[in-house]
Amino acid sequence: MGIRRLDLGILLDLYGVTQQQDRDALETLARESKKRGWWHDYGDTIPPAYADFLGLEGDARYIRTWQPMVLPGLLQTEDYARALLGANPAAVRPERIDQLVKVRMERKAVLAKPDAARFWAIIWEPALRCPVGGADVHRAQLRYLAEAAQLPNVTMQVVPLDVGATAGACGPFVTFGFTDSPAPGAVFLETLTSSHYLEQEAELDGYGLVFDYLRSSALNPAQSLDMITAIAAET
């Protein structure tokens, strides 16, 4: 169930949201929240926590992620996603893999739709070098990654191993921004058996700071693309 525009206006006044662009953005989110998400067509394949994630991803203006072990879901090929999902029997039942791969491929629409989200991915070098699915799948995935890195709304950076210790020791995370400000509005964390959403200001500030530190320690986008291309050539 969504929220009525009148009720939203009262809440925005109560919480002191006065900037018109912020009010307009939140009113748009409220209006679109009443729409049926495309993922509902997958029935119980999509658990409630994952549906919440897909809703945030679809509504976000900014998506930023740190991925130290695997490549971001929005940038995965079908074969890479299938190999990755099939490698963890504790997380996914074999009979669900095909549908989950379809969902992961459909998610990519958020990067191609009109007024698409700005996506910024910082990836640790081991995630690039791990041959998920074997050499052919790995090579195709890296080539796809190199193509995606050149999209106008995608920024990709690699943190090389020789940097040593990184701020990303906290583990992978995804942040979502919902207004013209790229400041996080929510942070998503995933474990083997559950998912967590952080919305407290202090928590959001902490993850924003970690992302900034990772960004400063990473190769710039051009150097990162060179590394991805070089690793692809080695496989």
Neighbours of 92 (CB within 10 A): 14
- Assigned domain for 169 exists: yes
Tokens for 232, please give them: 């692809």
> In the predicted model, what is the mean pLDDT of residues 217-235?
97
Digit-coded pLDDT (tens) for 57-76: 998 999 999 999 999 999 99
21 and 130 belong to one structural domain: no
142 and 224 belong to one structural domain: yes
- Assigned domain for 209 exists: yes
Q: What is the extent of the structural domain holding 21?
A: 1-35
109 and 214 belong to one structural domain: yes
Supply the pLDDT for residue 90.
Answer: 75
C-alpha to C-alpha distance for 176 and 207, rounded to whole angstroms: 11
User: In this structure, what CATH number is given to the domain that contains residue 111?
Assistant: 3.30.870
Q: What is the mean pLDDT of the chain?
A: 88
Q: Per-residue confidence at 92, pLDDT binned at 50, 70, 90?
A: confident
Digit-coded pLDDT (tens) for 125-180: 999 999 999 999 999 999 999 999 999 999 999 999 999 999 998 899 999 998 88
Q: Per-residue confidence at 77, pLDDT binned at 50, 70, 90?
A: very high
Supply the pLDDT for residue 145.
Answer: 97
7 and 108 belong to one structural domain: no
- Assigned domain for 40 exists: no
70 and 149 belong to one structural domain: yes
177 and 62 belong to one structural domain: yes
10 and 100 belong to one structural domain: no
Beta strand residue intervals within the chain, DSSP E: 62-67, 118-124, 154-159, 173-177, 186-190, 195-198
24 and 120 belong to one structural domain: no
- The reported pTM is 0.82
